[in-house]
Amino acid sequence: MHGAEPNKDFRSGFVTVVGRPNAGKSTLLNQLLGQKILIMSDKPQTTRNKIHCILTEERGQIVFLDTPGIHKPKHKLGEFMVDSALESLREVDLILYMVDTTADFGAGEEYILENLKQVKTPCILLLNKIDLIEKDKLLKLIKDYSALKDFLAIIPISAKTGENKDELLKVIFKEMPQGPMYYPEDEVTDQPERFIMAELVREKVLQLTRDEVPHSIAVVVESVEEKKTLIKVRALIVVERDSQKGIIIGQGGSLLKEIGRLARQDIETLLGSKVFLELFVKVEKDWRNRGRSLREFGYSDRS
How, if at all, do strands 275-283 and 94-100 pair?
Answer: unpaired
| Region for residue 274 given its phi and psi (left: phi exceeds 0; alpha: psi -120 to 50; beta: otherwise) | beta
**Cα distance between residue 188 and residue 155, in whole Å:** 24
∠ CA 96-102-105, rounded to 5° = 70
**Cα distance between residue 244 and residue 236, in whole Å:** 14
Give the H or E element holding residue 156.
strand 153-156
Q: How far apart are the first and last CA of the chain?
A: 44
∠ CA 65-67-70, rounded to 5° = 145
Was 20 annotated as part of a binding site?
yes
| Residue type for position 225 | E
Inter-residue contact 215 to 227 (CB < 8 Å):
no
Was 68 annotated as part of a binding site?
yes
Was 130 annotated as part of a binding site?
yes
Spatial strand order in the sheet of 275-283? 218-226, 231-239, 275-283
Was 43 annotated as part of a binding site?
no
Residues in contact with 236: Cβ distance below 8 Å, sequence separation at least 6, in sequence order: 219, 220, 221, 222, 279, 280, 281, 282
Was 190 annotated as part of a binding site?
no
233 beta partners: 224, 277
Was 70 annotated as part of a binding site?
yes
Was 164 annotated as part of a binding site?
no
Was 142 annotated as part of a binding site?
no
Was 131 annotated as part of a binding site?
yes
Was 22 annotated as part of a binding site?
yes
Was 19 annotated as part of a binding site?
yes
Was 54 annotated as part of a binding site?
no
Give the H or E element holding residue 214.
none
Was 21 annotated as part of a binding site?
yes
Was 25 annotated as part of a binding site?
yes
**Cα distance between residue 101 and residue 105, in whole Å:** 9
* b/e sequence 159-180, b meaning 16+ C-beta within 10 Å: beeebbbeebbebbbebbeeee
Query: What are phi and psi for residue 246, nearest 5 degrees?
Result: -60, -40
Was 218 annotated as part of a binding site?
no
Known binding-site residue numbers for GTP: 19-26, 66-70, 128-131
Known binding-site residue numbers: 19-26, 66-70, 128-131
